[in-house]
Each structure stands twice: as structure tokens, then as C-alpha cells.
Amino acid sequence: MVDNTQAVEEIVKKILQEMKGNHSGESNAVARKGEIPKTARAAMLTALEKYEIKEFPIPELGDDDILVKVEGCGICGTDAHEFKRDPFGLIPLVLGHEGTGEIVKMGKNVKKDSAGKDLKVGDKVVSCMIFKDNPDITMFDLNKQNVGGADVYGLLPDDDIHLNGWFADYIVIRGGSTIFNVSDLDLDSRILIEPCAVLIHAVERAKTTGILRFNSRVVVQGCGPIGLICIAVLRTMGIENIVAVDGEEKRLEFAKRLGATKSVNFKEHKGVEALAKAVEDSLDGHLADFAFQCTGSPIAHANIYKFIRNGGGLCELGFFINGGDATINPHFDLCAKEITVVGSWVYTLRDYATTFDFLKRAKGIGLPIHELITHKFPLEQINEGHITNLKMEGLKIAIVNP
């Protein structure tokens, strides 16, 4: 009788080796479904207007860390500024802060999200600001300080982990970060959470003036994604008398679908006085009770005071970077009219939680909020996605992983 023991042992060893996935040179692309690969791709901005897809090892997680498989991330105006000019001096870095994905691995200490909701592998999540150790910024006491000094994934300097932004296959959420379980929202809604939170915060700031009410006449200047979302937030609050101001007819038409009653194309009016008269006419002979300035243009900021009645209010939220100085007349624009002005800068943790309910409410009353996402590109076409964004060929451009 022939002894086949050695041959059988070799076969068993080979099978076990294959079961462990010990294939030399096995790449991310062919990793089996559900298996966490050893490396991840990330779109690294290495120079102005130049992303390179690089591959980095996925590190061992700390006890407080979370590994998230990225499903999608919107391109923000801040990403566009960084792509075009690097105003923050961060190159090289992995951008993307409007991201969402699925938890695939968690440190042993991670149990709940920033709102106290249970977290587990398979949950869909978004990240918010990284607040570090600042006791003045908490979930339920929002008026001590704004979040201007906080960090955010997608605007972090490169380090030895590299997976710091959502323009990647995977992102490592470090211990001490904020994170929310949003498994009850679809992918498009989750991609829109971050920009929508900006507007939830702006409207909450506007409400502190005591001027913005259900029956207020409101002007929203600028109908990019920020202005359009502003209109949708106001509409979900029950405000119906909203005038949209922009220079692109397609955006003004979409503004009406999101809740604007009237629209004014500033290209059709020569000079600020004529434009202000057009806004007044669209409000049946009245100036606005409240205005939201969403453009990032100093000229637009200077003009908007002319649209507001005596005793009215203004929320300025368009300047996320230094866009230059605006010229106003303090007597005519502020003092004589007694306009109340508030500025708005990003959001708080509470605003994130409110945003989840806003998205459900917008969908419930039939606002086509998801149509804000007009283009989707895979990660390897991220340069094309940013160029499309810069050309203003769509509204919200997103990078979506298969």
C-alpha cells in the first residue's frame, strides 16, 4: 500500500493557504467581497489642479478608532478653492469632507455615536467636526463659541496614516472624533448632510434675531448648492414668500422647485437700484424682512442691504474663505435702516442632528433635494469631477465608489 500522507499534507497546506487569502501581489481590486484589503486608494492632491490616486496601507486600528469604507463624498466649494489655489497651504493632502460610508471595523472601546446612538459594523455613518478638548463646544450648549478652530476630515495635513479625507476607498476615524449613525438615510441624502448642516446653522442664527418668522418676506441671494439648500430649509419651516436672486436661469428654475415663490435674474437689471426695485416688485411692493447672502461675492454683499426693509435682518454665510472687502455705507445701509446682521460659519453638532430630520422632512413634502446631485464620478475620475465643478456645469458634484 502506497503512503500518500505527505501528498495529502501538501494539498491541505495549499488549501489552507488559499483560504487565508495568502496570494502574493493580490490587489485591492480583486479582494473578496466583505474582506478588508491591506491597502486603500486615496486621491491625493499633490499640486494645483492635480490629484493622483495613491495606495496606502490600512493601519492597525487603535481601541477608539473606526475604519469606514467610503461610499460617496460631495465636492464642496472649499475643495474647489483648495484644488485651484491651495489657500490653506495644505498640499499634499487627501480632501473630501462631505463623505459617508459603512463601518467595516471598530476599536473595542467604540460603542456609541456622538448622539448616544449604538454603533456596530455595517452601520452607515458621517463624520462632523473634530473638536479636540474644547469644553466650550458641546452637543447641547451651543452659544459659548463657534467651531472656527475645529478640524475636519478632508482638510487635515498629511501624516503617516494618509487616510484623512473622504476622497478615498477607506477613511480612518480617529478616537475623539465626532461620528453619527445615519443608517436610516439613503446614500444621496447622506452625501448632502454636510452642506445641509451649513444651512440649518445659518437659519438657526437668523432665528436669533427674532425677525425671521412664518410670514416673513425672504430674499436668498445666490442659487448655487448653498443658496438652493437655504431655500429648501426655509420652505420646510413653513416660510412661503421666498425670492431667489441669481444670474443663471436654470438655477432660478430649480430654486422654484425647492420652494422659492419668485425669482430675479440680476443680469436683466443694470445697477443695484434697478435690481433692488426688481426684488421689491417681486415682493408685491415690499422690501424683504430678511435676507440670506450666499454668494461669496463682496459686490453681492454690498448690494443686499438695498433689498432689506427698515428694521429687517441679514444672515451672511457666503464667505468660507477671504473673498475680499465689501464696501457699504454704514449710515444708509445699517444705522438708518437699523438692520440686524448675523454671520454664520459652518455648523455645530446639534445642527447635524437637526439636519437628519430636515432631509426627511424635505423628502416628505416632495422637495426634489436629491436632484442637487447632478453628476457622479468614480474616484479615478476625481480631476474630471473637480473641473466639472469649476465650470459650473452642474450643482452638487459627487465622487461615488461602486
Q: Order the strands of the 262-265 sheet from edge to edge.
A: 262-265, 241-246, 217-221, 288-293, 308-316, 340-343
Which helix H or strand E contains 353, and what residues bound it? Answer: helix 349-364
pLDDT bracket for residue 13 (50, 70, 90):
low
Over the Cα atoms of the chain, what is R_g?
24
Contacts of 149 (CB under 8 A, 6+ apart): 134
User: Could you give the C-alpha distances from 209 to 76, 100, 250, 304, 315, in angstroms and in order?
Assistant: 28, 34, 32, 17, 10
For the chain, domains (ranges, CATH) are 36-184+368-400 (3.90.180.10), 198-343 (3.40.50.720)
DSSP string over 163-188: --SSSBSEEEE-TT--EEE-TTS-HH
Contacts of 153 (CB under 8 A, 6+ apart): 96, 97, 99, 127, 130, 164, 165, 166, 171, 173, 177
Residue length of the chain: 402
- Tell me how many degrees the CA angle 67-58-14 measures, rounded to the nearest 5: 110
Distance between CA 218 and CA 273 in Å, rounded?
Answer: 18
pTM, rounded to two decimals: 0.87
What was the pLDDT predicted at 16? Answer: 44
Q: How does DSSP classify residue 60?
A: P
The answer to whether 314 and 291 have CB atoms below 8 angstroms apart is yes
pLDDT bracket for residue 34 (50, 70, 90):
low
What was the pLDDT predicted at 18? Answer: 44
Query: Among 131-140, 246-255, 262-271, which is the least confidently predicted range?
Result: 131-140
What was the pLDDT predicted at 25? Answer: 34
The answer to whether 365 and 236 have CB atoms below 8 angstroms apart is yes
Residue from 201, 31, 174, 164 nearest 110 by CA: 174
Residue from 123, 309, 139, 185 nearest 193 by CA: 185
Checking if the pLDDT of 330 tops 70, the result is yes
| Bond into 92 cis (ω within 30) | yes
What was the pLDDT predicted at 146? Answer: 63
Distance between CA 259 and CA 92 in Å, rounded?
Answer: 40
pLDDT bracket for residue 349 (50, 70, 90):
confident
What was the pLDDT predicted at 15? Answer: 43
Distance between CA 210 and CA 229 in Å, rounded?
Answer: 22
Distance between CA 169 and CA 163 in Å, rounded?
Answer: 9
Q: Are strands 66-74 and 98-106 parallel, antiparallel or unpaired?
A: antiparallel
Q: Residue 352 CB: number of other CB atoms within 10 A?
A: 25
pLDDT in tens, 161-172: 999 999 999 999
Distance between CA 164 and CA 162 in Å, rounded?
Answer: 5
User: Could you give the C-alpha distances from 309 to 216, 218, 271, 338, 340, in angstroms and in order?
Assistant: 11, 11, 19, 9, 11
Written as nine digits, the cell of 99 is 463623505
Q: For the packed helices 382-390 and 77-85, what is the interaxial angle rounded to 10 degrees?
A: 100
pLDDT in tens, 107-124: 999 999 989 999 999 999
Q: 31 versus 251: which is more confidently predicted?
A: 251
Distance between CA 251 and CA 344 in Å, rounded?
Answer: 23
